[in-house]
């Protein structure tokens, strides 16, 4: 009996866009690939952990039926906790599905990546309860309450490693597939910084840019409310026309109506992670990269599972076809190896030999040995 092509899968962080990971896994299995190892940050850890435990189908059936009002109820809002959302109601459902499973007992090797806020470094969970590792990995700063575990203040893995390829280095895989949820909507990655003036400019110069950028964050009514403040003026709008008088001189327009602190935190986190993702992918290039645009949905749109799963399926099929990757019999390649790393993460209750390695298939194509 011939072996299937073995894949090491790195699932990135990105809130509700992480539903796309479900579609990625579905397409890989339909095409005959064997998932030999999974590493995930934030939503990638949740989806990856459930798949490694054999419970992803049950979770998928549940989230497909969620409506917006269901999501509001499940988010478990808190006014006093360090995060605005406790997320315990969601985690209760995940715990029921996992039924006390431990990472080291899973049929598929799994790593959940979190961030130790005290030590300023990433933590790899490769042993212990799956649900606890997932809970630590999904704690988005300021949004979902962080957790204390073994003397560590743990938060979202996407803070330090939004696409965790390095933890898959020990998987015996033929190729590595990474899924980034922070793709650029239009501008190419690595675009030059934008030069602008601090002087107010006519609305006609920036209205289109505002519509494009704000549409990623706010709904159409909010965008329209901002533009209506300026009408169709072709001259720079006086400051006093859009902001109330203040003691100090004011040079800025009013913020978009309805923009809350969640919007700003997520937009700031997305901006930071988009840069970090490029650096991580440059250091650990995968064989196949599936990129989900960060404007595909907002980070808390957990009622859009059906749409995001389908998008994940479409993008995965396109990425595999463009790369010319098919599920051929395995050659027994080993995507693992020992390598040093200046930012070597902590391995919580686990044994990992190295933190820096690239897929053996990529190394073979470059004509260099696997690290």
* 221 carries an active-site annotation: no
CA–CA separation, 183 and 12 (whole Å): 11
156 is known as an active-site residue? yes
Is residue 317 within 8 Å of residue 131, measured between CB atoms? no
Q: State the Cα angle at 96 between 58 and 49, rounded to 5°.
A: 65
d(CA 182, CA 305): 17
Candidates 85, 83, 68; CA nearest to 219 is: 68
Contacts of residue 127, defined as CB under 8 A and 6 or more positions apart, other chains included, come to: 102, 103, 104, 348, 349, 350, 351
Is there a contact between 2 and 169 (Cβ–Cβ < 8 Å)?
no
Report how far residue 161's alpha carbon sits from residue 343's, in angstroms, rounded to the nearest whole number. Answer: 11
* CA–CA gap between residue 258 and residue 255 (Å, rounded): 9
Please pick, among 42, 355, 356, 370, the residue that the annotation labels catalytic. Answer: 42
Contact between 17 and 46 under an 8 Å Cβ cutoff? The reply is: no
Residue-wise burial string across 113-147, b where 16 or more C-beta atoms lie within 10 A, e elsewhere:
bbbbbeeeebbbbbebebbbbbbbbbbbbbbbbbb
CA 344/CA 330 separation, integer angstroms: 30
Task: Please identify which of the residues 156, 174, 263, 287 carries the catalytic annotation.
Answer: 156
Q: Which residues are catalytic?
A: 42, 156
């Amino acid at each position: 009996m011939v072996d299937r092509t073995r894949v090491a899968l790195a699932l990135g962080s990105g809130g509700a866009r992480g539903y796309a990971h479900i579609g990625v896994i579905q397409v890989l299995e339909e095409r005959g690939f064997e998932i030999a190892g999974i590493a995930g940050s934030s939503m990638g850890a949740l989806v990856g952990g459930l798949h490694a435990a054999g419970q992803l189908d049950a979770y998928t059936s549940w989230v497909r039926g969620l409506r917006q009002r269901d999501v509001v109820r499940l988010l478990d809002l808190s006014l006093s906790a360090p995060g605005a959302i406790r997320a315990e109601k969601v985690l209760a459902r995940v715990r029921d599905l996992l039924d006390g499973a431990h990472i080291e007992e899973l049929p598929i090797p799994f790593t959940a990546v979190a961030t130790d806020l005290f030590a300023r470094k990433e933590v790899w969970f490769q042993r212990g309860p799956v649900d606890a590792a997932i809970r630590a990995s999904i704690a988005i700063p300021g949004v979902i309450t962080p957790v204390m575990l073994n003397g560590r203040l743990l938060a979202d893995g996407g803070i330090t490693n939004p696409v965790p390829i390095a933890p898959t280095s020990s998987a015996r895989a033929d190729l590595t597939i990474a899924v980034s949820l922070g793709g650029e909507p239009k501008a190419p990655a690595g675009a030059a910084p934008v030069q602008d003036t601090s002087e107010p400019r006519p609305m006609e110069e920036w209205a289109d840019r505002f519509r494009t950028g704000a549409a990623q964050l706010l709904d159409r009514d909010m965008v329209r409310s901002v533009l209506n403040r300026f009408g169709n003026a072709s001259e720079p709008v006086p400051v006093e026309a859009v902001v109330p008088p203040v003691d100090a001189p004011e040079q800025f327009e009013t913020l978009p109506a309805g923009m809350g602190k969640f919007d700003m935190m997520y937009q700031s986190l997305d901006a930071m992670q988009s840069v970090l993702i490029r650096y991580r992918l440059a250091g650990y290039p995968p064989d196949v990269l599936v990129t989900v645009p960060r404007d595909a949905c907002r980070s808390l749109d957990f009622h859009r599972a059906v749409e995001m799963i389908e998008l994940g399926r479409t993008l995965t099929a396109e990425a595999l076809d463009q790369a010319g990757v098919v599920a051929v019999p395995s050659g027994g390649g080993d995507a693992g190896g020992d390598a040093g790393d200046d930012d070597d993460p902590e391995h919580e209750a686990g044994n990992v030999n190295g933190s820096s390695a690239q897929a053996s298939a990529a190394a073979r194509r470059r004509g260099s040995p696997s690290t």
